[in-house]
């Protein structure tokens, strides 16, 4: 859905197939002026996870390709990362996968009279994402359909609910692969426990002492 332009598009064209051959999928390529020039490559496993070891594996695979093809016209820093919890949404399936969570969307041209939207994802179908807006103005409908082709940027909004669900999904995915990650599992459990309501204090006994 989201298509890179310029140098980012050249990088994406070179690395997408090699990344897929490794068992990952390319999420996004972005070339920025950070530290002079930084090429940021977001990737993930099909189950949405991405560890430090995964990032290193992708870096080792694509660095020789980028060195050989030289798609960026200046020196740059290469950064491989996971999409993160407040991840960008770049495919129709991303919107379906994260339905019922908050999203911010920017469009290339005005849609329904505006270019910025914020609300809860209802789903994606027939070439559009439907959201229930929480930033409606007077006489505006809260539920709107935004054509996917008009979206320039879409990103999940960081909330406690999103953090909790992301940790739960990550834990389940790693468990399904048989990956031992005791530290991450402990962090997920601690976050869930921190959100649980504290026990109500016991009322003092009203019985008379003998």
Which residue ranges does the chain devote to CATH 2.30.30.180? 92-156
Retrieve residue 1's tokens. 């859905």
List strands edge to edge, sheet with 38-44: 25-32, 38-44, 77-81
Each residue's pLDDT, cut to its tens digit, for the chain (210 residues) gives 677 889 999 999 999 999 999 999 999 999 999 999 999 999 999 998 999 999 999 999 999 999 999 999 999 999 999 999 999 999 999 999 999 999 999 999 999 889 999 999 999 988 999 999 988 877 888 999 999 999 999 999 999 999 999 999 999 998 988 876 555 555 555 555 555 544 444 444 443 443
3-state helix, strand, coil in the chain (%, to 5): 35, 30, 35
Please give the Cα distance from 6 to 151 (Å, whole number).
18
**Is the CATH number 3.30.300.70 carried by domain 6-81?**
yes
pLDDT value of residue 189: 56
* Pair 79, 39: CB distance under 8 Å: yes
Please give the Cα distance from 188 to 171 (Å, whole number).
8
- Burial letters for 155-181: b for 16+ Cβ neighbours within 10 Å, e otherwise? bbeeeeebebebbebbbeebeeeeeeb
pTM for the full model? 0.79
The domain defined by 92-156 folds into: SH3 type barrels. (2.30.30)
């Amino acid at each position: 859905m989201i298509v890179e332009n310029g140098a980012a598009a050249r990088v994406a064209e070179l690395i997408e197939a090699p990344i897929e051959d490794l068992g990952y999928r390319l999420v996004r390529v972005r070339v920025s002026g950070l530290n002079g020039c930084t090429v940021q490559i977001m990737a993930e496993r099909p189950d949405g996870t991405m560890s430090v070891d995964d990032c290193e594996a992708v870096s080792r695979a694509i660095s020789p390709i980028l060195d050989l093809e030289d798609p960026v016209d200046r020196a740059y820093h290469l950064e491989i990362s996971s999409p993160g919890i407040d991840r960008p949404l770049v495919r129709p399936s991303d919107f379906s996968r994260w339905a019922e969570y908050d999203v911010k969307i920017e469009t290339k041209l005005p849609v329904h009279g505006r270019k910025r939207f914020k609300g809860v994802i209802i789903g994606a179908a027939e070439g559009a994402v439907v959201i229930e807006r929480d930033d409606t103005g007077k006489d505006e409908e809260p539920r709107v359909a935004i054509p996917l082709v008009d979206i320039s940027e879409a990103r999940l909004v960081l909330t406690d609910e999103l953090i909790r669900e992301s940790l739960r999904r990550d834990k389940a995915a790693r468990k399904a692969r048989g990956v031992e990650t005791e530290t991450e599992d402990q962090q997920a459990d601690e976050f869930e426990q921190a959100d649980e309501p504290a026990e109500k204090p016991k009322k003092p006994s009203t019985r008379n002492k003998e």
